[in-house]
Amino acid sequence: MPIYDRQCACGWRRDDCYEQRADTLACPSCGAQTERIYAGRVNIIPDTFSTPLVDDNMARHTQVFYSRSERKAAMKKHGVRERVQHVEFNHSDKSPHTTRWY
């Protein structure tokens, strides 16, 4: 669902309104109709982990990674790649092995 901001001519502003349709909303401070503004927000996934990632399988010794780029460099060094990969089937995202699609 898109995120909208509401703004009034008097200076009142409300951020992060989840609206399914363009409803009219009166300003709580002056009572005038507010204007709906699309708020194109971007979510950025940080490179660092919130807690260190401990890996016992990639090398002979236990490794501790503090960022995704550090883990990716170690995987490249040891010749390891991610096991889960998206494989297209007959130009479709659906796989014949999936029993349910929600």
Cα–Cα–Cα angle for 44, 50, 56, nearest 5°? 120
**Over 60: is that where the pLDDT of 1 sits?**
no
Question: What mean pLDDT is predicted for residues 69-77?
Answer: 94
Question: What mean pLDDT is predicted for residues 40-62?
Answer: 85
Instruction: Supply the pLDDT for residue 71.
Output: 93
Q: Where are the domains of the chain?
A: 3-38, 48-78
**Contact criterion met (CB below 8 Å) for 29 and 10:** yes
* Helix (H), strand (E) at residue 51: strand 48-55
Instruction: Supply the pLDDT for residue 59.
Output: 85
Q: Locate tokens 């659906």: which residue?
A: 94
Q: Report the C-alpha gap between 15 and 37 in whole angstroms.
A: 10
Q: Tell me the whole-structure pTM to 2 decimals.
A: 0.43
Instruction: Supply the pLDDT for residue 66.
Output: 95
Q: Report the C-alpha gap between 94 and 86 in whole angstroms.
A: 11
User: How is residue 102 annotated by DSSP?
Assistant: -
Tens-digit pLDDT profile for residues 57-72: 888 899 999 999 999 9
Tens-digit pLDDT profile for residues 6-25: 888 898 888 766 666 667 77
